Structure 1
Amino acid sequence: MEEKTFERGRDETYYFDDGDCMFLVDGVLFKLHKAFLNRDPESMFFGMLNIPQPKILDAEPVKLTDDSAEEFRALCWVLYALPDAIHIQATANAEIPKLLKIAKICHKYTLAKIETWALDMLKIQCKPAEGSPGCLAACSEDLLVEIMTRAFDANHIPLRHIIEETWLSRLDAGEISYRTTLTAGEMQGWIKFSTRVYTRLNKKLSGTRLPTANPFSHLDLTDGQLLRLLSGSMLLSNFWSHFRRNLPREDECTDHPWNCLAPWNRLAWSDSSDIWAGLHAAYKAIGTEHRDRCTGLYINQTLRTFSVTLVESFFGPQS
């Protein structure tokens, strides 16, 4: 059988003459060693390379689609890297773009252990430390979204937490747009994060004198985001209004008008832009003598459930 030829180049680094498996990625040929790809029995490569098949020739390599040569090269790097190169990724000289490529391609091919390692290294770079605010403090919006995506792919909770707090801090400082932030949250279905953003926007609206012409243009939201914000704001305002007017009476309460309603009506209520703060202020203001009466019990019960109310105001009931 006549061997086919390719008008494609061999990778300069990861084409080993003694390799025993061949891949064609984005027009580039990689010739690797099965032993390096077979170390994780749960990976897709393990199954791919252990299916009985004819000898792989240069003319007929395994074709990997939807991967870039740079991403596959990053995978090869981590498979063949020596300890000193691996160690550098935990230092200030880490290669963040390479770590992101590794995390992305390892997620696709279920190389979970390497994916977790790459994200652990990213966490080191992202986490604020003494003398360093972390790489997220001044990175571009695109890089922030990319790191967020990789953290969500693997459900890397520690990295997600760092991303959330740093992102919101930069949002408050006006360094990142609300549109980008909410779009990223929507793409990942990150409702808790998005709720915190909408809560900030609701407070921003409350403290801003809006013009009658194009009153919300300064927010630069999509139509869907603006609708969610305004409907959520209305629902929270409605909730707060009814909460303040309706103090339920506990069954065992015998002097409700004097010892419950009277101190309740004397409370100085805040507006609905920060209900959390309003609830805590009211609970503090009633004093210890009313904590076990209708007033304290009602506020305390509302505090316990308000996180659900807040989410449902912007996103509806959650299953």
Structure 2
Amino acid sequence: MEADADVTLIDVDLGVQVVRDPEYYKPSGDCKIRVEDTLFNIHRFLLERDSSAFETMFQLPQGMEKPQGSSDDDPIVLMGDTAEEFRALCWALYALPDEIVKESTATNSVKKLARVAVISHKYQLAAFQSWSLGSIRGRCTPGGYLRTCPSHLLPIILRPLILCREDSLVDTVVDVWLYRLSNLKQTGFIANFHAYDPLPVSAFSDAITFAEENQLRQFLGRLYYARLAVAHRDSKMPTSSLIKFPFGDLEHRHQQRILRGSWSLSAYWQHLITEKPSLQRNCPSSSTNCRPEWNSIWQDATAHGGATDILFKLRYIRDQIPSHRQNMTEGCANKGKAIIESLITQLEVALPDHFLGPP
């Protein structure tokens, strides 16, 4: 049954109300597609271009006079997509050149571009995927759009990058997200961090949920670690009341993982400080200060950084080695730096294991 654009239709089989899209139910369209509770009517040839997956959907089954999608009563139903994603694809299909150019550079277009990238990837619309991803890439520079964009856009940007295996860009977005969550401006850990807008501690919850849902184990481990470091830093701030449990904003399982990681990292540091790696054994007899200097740097590191911020402590040791060169041979100093660099790399890789256990 045909109806006006603003009339609510009923799917008899599913018992759901279906509303025609106000913009992309085209009177001249020849392909009805339902996404969630929204009915679209667009031109079939636009979806058949670019060797997309829609070509298979549009093939006429043998013995049928009309293919699916020819009427409101028998639309093609897309599962697993959102009406907003398909509406964004429709915009890309019908957009004029000047609209595309404007949208590619507009600061408020990221959400639409991400939706186009996600749905064009799913249905193998290579040209639209390439264009939308290219526009997103232009925003994924550490000193650009990512440094000040609203936090709710970070997972929206990440999703198509993950789907399309843009690993280096995923790492960039993750790094900036962590920097902003950690509010590293207060620590001076990153040069020129004043250019980044810090995020409130409460924003950790959304980031942790995203990392867990998308099975980003490394990102999840880094988030737990950063949350620990922030809690330790905040506990040192002046306060007129007792310190509250710092992880009350997180779900119970995340609290348990962070507490487990805190214990594990503390135990790891105790092992390192007790059984610290030795320097070269063939140190010249005239340079007997090498080992005492090495031990002194390690001991000094215990007072720097949070109790479980082992990466900060290791970086502190690495950065102190040059100032002790006058009392150490060049060979021992270089050996010490190489040892610390190796420990940093190993811990960065193993961070999730401290919080989540072995994979």
TM-score by length of 2: 0.70
Q: For 2:301, which of 251, 257, 270 is the aligned residue?
A: 270
Q: Is the 8 A contact 2:113 2:136 kept in 1?
A: yes
Q: What is the CA–CA distance in structure 2 between the aligned matches of 1:254 and 1:99, rounded to whole Å? A: 60
Which runs of no fewer than 5 residues in structure 2 stay unpaired?
Answer: 10-18, 184-197
d(CA) in 1 for partners of 2:260, 2:225: 12
Q: Partner letter of residue 256 of structure 2?
A: L
* Structure 1: distance between partners of 2:60 and 2:283: 78
| Counterpart contact for 2:33–2:75, Cα < 8 Å | yes
Q: How many residues are treated as equivalent by the alignment? A: 310
Conserved? CA contact 2:283–2:332, under 8 Å:
no
What corresponds to 2:224 in structure 1? 198
How much does 1:110 deviate? 3.5
Q: In structure 2, the residue corresponding to 1:31 is in which secondary structure?
A: strand
Q: Distance in 1 between matches of 2:59 and 2:39?
A: 20
* Per-residue deviation, 1:106: 2.5
| Mapped partners of 2:166, 2:154: distance in 1 | 15
Determine if contact 2:118/2:159 at 8 Å carries over to the other structure. no
Gaps of at least 5 residues in structure 1 are none
Aligned to 1:229: 258
Partner of 1:35: 45
Give 1:298 deviation, angstroms: 4.0
Q: Any idea what the Cα deviations from partners look like across 1:216-240, whole Å, max 9, x if unmatched?
A: 2465222222222122122222212
Look up the SS of the partner of 2:40 in the other structure: strand
**Take 2:26 and 2:295, find their aligned partners in 1: how far apart are those partners?**
81
Aligned to 2:145: 134
Aligned-residue offset at 1:40: 2.6
Per the alignment, in what secondary structure is the counterpart of residue 99 of structure 1? helix
Alignment of structure 1 residues 45-194 onto 2, 5 Å: 45-52=54-61, 53-56=64-67, 57-58=70-71, 59-92=73-106, 95-125=109-139, 127=141, 134=145, 137-139=148-150, 141-157=151-167, 159-171=169-181, 172=183, 173-175=198-200, 177=202, 178-194=204-220
Q: What is the root-mean-square deviation in Å for CA atoms of aligned residues?
A: 3.7
Q: TM-score, normalised by structure 1?
A: 0.77
Q: Residues of 1 paired with 2:107 and 2:206: CA distance? A: 29
Distance 2:206 2:24 in 1: 38
Q: Secondary structure at the match of 1:239?
A: helix
C-alpha offsets along residues 43-62 of structure 1, whole Å, 9 cap, x if unaligned? 32122113535324324332
Deviations 1:5-58 (A, max 9, x none): 5763655544456544332344554333332212232x3212211353532432
